[in-house]
Amino acid sequence: DAKTTQPPSMDCAEGRAANLPCNHSTISGNEYVYWYRQIHSQGPQYIIHGLKNNETNEMASLIITEDRKSSTLILPHATLRDTAVYYCIVRVAGAGGTSYGKLTFGQGTILTVHP
């Protein structure tokens, strides 16, 4: 799986958008970008994933650059409960575009949302 690079920490004001960047310059054509977060010492929580198109769900939006070498996770209106470590993970897809393999976690970005 391709390596990812994320800033170690970021701050965001409550109610504002949090934009978390991730570089994955060696990503391959069959690798998806996944985002997870871990609040304190809880189990990691799935947020969103995508291949090359921008994706949105009830939690966040994922913007992937056209060359796929970087992406941005957007939390549109951050709350104090969004304070967590956010992980960007690149993961290969199998047949049909489905991924079954392990997740390889890096150090992630510690996002602190302040009042």
Residues that bind other proteins (CB under 8 A): 34, 38, 41-46, 49, 87, 98-107
Q: Report in angstroms how near the CB of residue 12 gets to other proteins at its nearest.
A: 23
Q: Report in angstroms how near the CB of residue 16 gets to other proteins at its nearest.
A: 27
Helix (H) or strand (E) holding 35: strand 31-38
Q: Report in angstroms how near the CB of residue 57 gets to other proteins at its nearest.
A: 11
Minimum CB distance to other proteins smaller for 67 or for 100? 100
Spell 30-67 as b/e; 16+ CB within 10 A means b. Answer: ebbbbbbbbeeeeebeebbbbeeeebeeeebbbbbeee
